[in-house]
Amino acid sequence: MPDPPLGPPIGPGIVRVEGHAKVTGRARYSYEAQSADGVPARALYGAAVLSTIARGRIASIDTSAAEKAPGVRLVLTHRNAPPQAKWGPLNAKVRFARSQPVLHDDQVRYFGEPVAFVVADSFENATDAAYRIAVRYAAEAPDIDLQAEKGVDPAPLHGGKSADTRKGDFDASFGECVHRIDVRYDTPYQHHVSMEAQASLAYWQGGKLVIHAPAQIPAAMQAGIAATFQMPQQDVRIVATLIGGGFGGKLPYFADSVLCAIASRLLSQPVKFAFTRQQTFLATSHRPAVLHRVRVGVGADGLIRAIGHEVVSQTASFDNYLDGDTMGAEGLYRADAILTTQRLARLDLPRSDSMRSPGDASGSLAFECAIDEAAYASGVDPVEFRIRNDTSTSPASGKPFSSRRLVACFETGAENFGWKARSKRRDGEWLIGFGAASAMRDNMLRESSAEVTLLPDGRLEARLDMTDPGTGSYTVLTQIAAEALGLPVERVTVRIGDTDFPPTAGSGGSFGAESAGSALYEACGRLRERLAQQASADARFQNMAASDFRFEGGLLKAGGAKIALGELARRGAPDGMTAPGHIAPGVEAKDYAEASFGAQFAEVAVNAVTGETRVRRMLGVFACGRILNARTARSQALGGMIWGLSSALMEGNSVDARGQFVAHDLANYHVPIMADIGTIDAVLMEEEDPVANPLAIKGIGEVGINGAGAAVANAIFDATGIRIRSFPITLDKLG
Ligand code: MOS
């Protein structure tokens, strides 16, 4: 049986299959789960008290007033919380499957660590009672200053694995270069602020714990919760039907899930709890601030000889999160010598973890600005410089890229953006400048599985524990199944976000669509075989070759004969015909480097009087393999580019003397609004990757943010001649 057909290189941009439910308010998120979702009784409400010191110990905690407050059912502190497994282990294979005890001791490790949890019959009563809890601390001076940190080698914290790259003799190669850039950049803390705050609803049913939570990888959370409570993994079920924004912030699970699980067990009733918007800034995870030293050595011919990128990034005092900021240095340009080092600053701050293109987002801000500095120092046009230093093999690993159209992206982008015709000019008070930058994001396939059933009525149901954090998973999975079986999309139902379904890699790291999608594609291929086999039992289809069978419009056709798929399924089994699918990285993948690429362009106007920067135009051109859905893919790219603009100009948090993140609401934590964005477009190039996976696709989720901020910063330099190396580039820095 031949493989199911693949669509065109750029697939139809159908609208989101769950979009209508979302915009009409019928979509229910974790906190809103109700009896229709299997919740057995009305849920009680939780409220959390967070620590107001960054380091020390709880000296005393008075809960008596809270316990007597109206409607209160339970007050949990470290004095009465049940035993849980200890945190970690740090070198766990899957970081998001670690155990995570809450209220387990009197220690405070960061400003905003939960110290008490109240459960009441209403949100108001729970919140009111939480305010009545009085905590006294024995505080110690926290270690919170990243700038003062040299960082520690993460290898011992990661089972001995070094994160450094050494190719050639960096000092010798760099020393010989005519043009040498040696610069320090810093990139700030950033916060997720997802539209859906971090929230859980938990209950116990016949010894089994069910948690509705916005988990990007339900299987990892299932393992982590099971580890925390020392219970079998199959006794934990995670449901994440809809996620209101994830982008790495919901890769880990958080205290809300553990607290709801504990409280619902003690109270024998469902308990739900959402961190307040302010609390999410402290009690969840953030993008770490990073200190970068970038060195670029260029010969008289404008070719890069040596690249160095050395970083120190923040992690919590008790954690080992490594952001991975040096991937551009390792993969973007030719170089005889490459030196990258990554060090961890373990500070008394909340946990840092993944955020949209972790590592590359911050790394590309520093690296692609330094590359721009190298281009100017070499007297080569910044776009020409990047094209001239292109490489078809990964400079760090020496492996050929499975596909790489970076140069084509730059050529198309330069043409569409009017790069060649640009000139330094002044528009009244405004100085106009153009900037460009490369984008790259590693591509990876992760083990996943899926199951499909062709129902007797001719509809197809797919089941897998993949998630949709707003990226379009529901939609592209529907398209993959519909395409593979020749069904209209209306006849495909994709059920995801539930650990009762076959496990997948979930959503994250741009691996979601290709991993879960490939497993689903394999399942559909198996189903086609079974349907064809069933057809062969029919006299009209006997003696036909497998290659004669066509699946079109809900029918199986061969020669002049045809039969409805539902009818075939019914002949196989009264409830329909089911087939499993599985995907894992193949052996050939080891011989290649895989990544998505793009070229970013920006035009800015900087006010010569105030220093204010306005972005007039942005264009991103991306090559990410076959594109499943031009509409959702473009949305991903645009979202990433806007986040890049935000990182260049607005977004960032700072830490006060007590160790508290200063901005903890959207009044103070600045992100762009429509008026900040100007004209923006993303173009998707035709490409198919023969190596990456059976779908010939590559990751599209994260590449859009990479380099986008650097393009804006580089345009500011073009406009003003000023190089700001500390992000975001607020107007005080340009003044
Ligand atoms: Mo990914 S860090 O889940 O965008």
- The beta-carbon contacts of 661-667 under 8 Å, at least 24 apart in sequence, are 661/111, 661/112, 661/189, 661/191, 661/281, 661/282, 661/286, 661/350, 663/191, 663/281, 664/277, 664/278, 664/281, 664/282, 665/277, 665/278, 665/281, 666/193, 666/277
CA of 469 to the centre of ligand 1 (A): 10
What percentage of the chain carries pLDDT values higher than 90?
A: 97
DSSP 8: -
Q: Looking at ligand 1, which atom is closest to the CA of residue 216?
A: 3
Cα–Cα separations (whole angstroms), residue 402 to 128, 167, 332, 596, 698: 58, 21, 14, 10, 10
Contact 220, 239 (CB under 8 A): no
- Tokens in use for 53? 């010191």
Residue 578's beta-bridge partner residues? 453
181: Cβ contacts below 8 Å, ≥ 6 apart: 294, 295, 296, 297, 298, 370, 373, 374, 377
Nearest Cα residue to 728 out of 661, 669, 659, 667: 669
* pLDDT at residue 35 in the model: 97
CA of 497 to the centre of ligand 1 (A): 16
Q: Quick check: helix, strand or coil at residue 472?
A: coil
> Ligand 1: which residue has its CA nearest to atom 2?
248
Prediction ipTM score: 0.96
Domains and CATH numbers, the chain: 19-26+445-584 (3.30.365.10), 30-141+194-286 (3.30.365.10), 393-444+592-735 (3.30.365.10)
Q: Say yes or no to pLDDT of 545 above 90.
A: no
Does the CB atom of residue 216 touch ligand 1 within 6 A? yes
Contact 304, 333 (CB under 8 A): yes
Q: Looking at ligand 1, which atom is closest to the CA of residue 354?
A: 2
Q: Are strands 577-583 and 107-108 parallel, antiparallel or unpaired?
A: unpaired
Q: Give the active site residue among 514, 522, 594, 702.
A: 702
- In the numeric block, the tokens 């569409």 are attached to 416
Contact 325, 366 (CB under 8 A): yes
DSSP 538: S
Q: Are strands 44-50 and 271-274 parallel, antiparallel or unpaired?
A: parallel
CA–CA distance, 663 with 669 (Å, rounded to integer): 5
pLDDT band at 624 (very low <50, low <70, confident <90, very high): very high
* pLDDT at residue 235 in the model: 98
CA of 218 to the centre of ligand 1 (A): 14
CA of 544 to the centre of ligand 1 (A): 47
* pLDDT at residue 570 in the model: 96
- Tokens in use for 505? 């890699």
pLDDT band at 370 (very low <50, low <70, confident <90, very high): very high
Q: Looking at ligand 1, which atom is closest to the CA of residue 247?
A: 4
Does the CB atom of residue 251 touch ligand 1 within 6 A? yes
587: Cβ contacts below 8 Å, ≥ 6 apart: none
Q: Looking at ligand 1, which atom is closest to the CA of residue 250?
A: 3
Condensed to tens digits (0 to 9), the pLDDT of residues 198-218 reads 999 999 999 999 999 999 999
CA–CA distance, 293 with 345 (Å, rounded to integer): 15
38: Cβ contacts below 8 Å, ≥ 6 apart: 210, 239
- Tokens in use for 521? 């594609």
CA of 23 to the centre of ligand 1 (A): 24
Element (H, E) at 203: strand 199-205
Does the CB atom of residue 356 touch ligand 1 within 6 A? yes
Is residue 686 among the annotated active site residues?
no
* pLDDT at residue 593 in the model: 97
Q: Are strands 613-623 and 595-607 parallel, antiparallel or unpaired?
A: antiparallel
Condensed to tens digits (0 to 9), the pLDDT of residues 12-56 reads 999 999 999 999 999 999 999 999 999 999 999 999 999 999 999
Does the CB atom of residue 250 touch ligand 1 within 6 A? no
Does the CB atom of residue 247 touch ligand 1 within 6 A? yes
Give the residue-averaged pLDDT of 655-684.
96
Give the residue-averaged pLDDT of 610-618.
97
End-to-end CA distance of the chain: 67
CA of 701 to the centre of ligand 1 (A): 8
CA of 225 to the centre of ligand 1 (A): 21
User: How many alpha carbons fall within 13 Å on the CB side of residue 28?
Assistant: 14
CA–CA distance, 568 with 717 (Å, rounded to integer): 65
Q: Looking at ligand 1, which atom is closest to the CA of residue 507?
A: 3
Condensed to tens digits (0 to 9), the pLDDT of residues 47-104 reads 999 999 999 999 999 999 999 999 999 999 999 999 999 999 999 999 999 999 999 9
Cα–Cα separations (whole angstroms), residue 526 to 275, 519, 537, 583: 44, 11, 17, 13
Element (H, E) at 375: helix 360-378
Does the CB atom of residue 701 touch ligand 1 within 6 A? yes
* pLDDT at residue 379 in the model: 98
Q: Say yes or no to pLDDT of 424 above 90.
A: no
CA of 135 to the centre of ligand 1 (A): 36
Three-class SS of 326-360: CHHHHHCCCCCEEEEEEEEEEECCCCECCCCCCCH
pLDDT band at 589 (very low <50, low <70, confident <90, very high): confident
pLDDT band at 648 (very low <50, low <70, confident <90, very high): very high
Q: Say yes or no to pLDDT of 510 above 90.
A: yes
Compute the C-alpha angle 546/549/551, nearest 5°.
Answer: 140
CA max distance for the chain: 84
Does the CB atom of residue 512 touch ligand 1 within 6 A? no
Nearest Cα residue to 97 out of 598, 506, 580: 506
* pLDDT at residue 73 in the model: 98
Mutate to test the pocket of ligand 1, among 356, 635, 703 (most ligand atoms within 8 A of CB): 356
Q: Looking at ligand 1, which atom is closest to the CA of residue 356?
A: 4
- Tokens in use for 319? 């954690």
Q: Say yes or no to pLDDT of 588 above 80.
A: no
Contact 370, 271 (CB under 8 A): no
CA 138 to chain centre: 37
CA–CA distance, 233 with 226 (Å, rounded to integer): 5
Residue 72's beta-bridge partner residues? 120
Q: What is the mean pLDDT of the chain?
A: 97
CA–CA distance, 701 with 247 (Å, rounded to integer): 9
Does the CB atom of residue 142 touch ligand 1 within 6 A? no
Give the residue-averaged pLDDT of 304-328.
98
CA–CA distance, 28 with 243 (Å, rounded to integer): 9
Q: Is the peptide bond before 232 cis (omega within 30 degrees of 0)?
A: no
* pLDDT at residue 590 in the model: 86
Does the CB atom of residue 509 touch ligand 1 within 6 A? yes
Contact 322, 163 (CB under 8 A): yes
Q: Where are the beta strands (DSSP E) in 260-332?
A: 271-274, 286-287, 290-298, 304-316
**Tally of CB atoms within 10 A around 233:** 15
Q: What is the CA radius of gyration of the chain?
A: 27
* pLDDT at residue 546 in the model: 83
Does the CB atom of residue 354 touch ligand 1 within 6 A? yes
* pLDDT at residue 547 in the model: 87
Q: What is the DSSP string of 145-157?
A: -GGG---B-SGGG
- In the numeric block, the tokens 């609390």 are attached to 279
* pLDDT at residue 586 in the model: 84
Does the CB atom of residue 220 touch ligand 1 within 6 A? no
Condensed to tens digits (0 to 9), the pLDDT of residues 682-731 reads 999 999 999 999 999 999 999 999 999 999 999 999 999 999 999 999 99
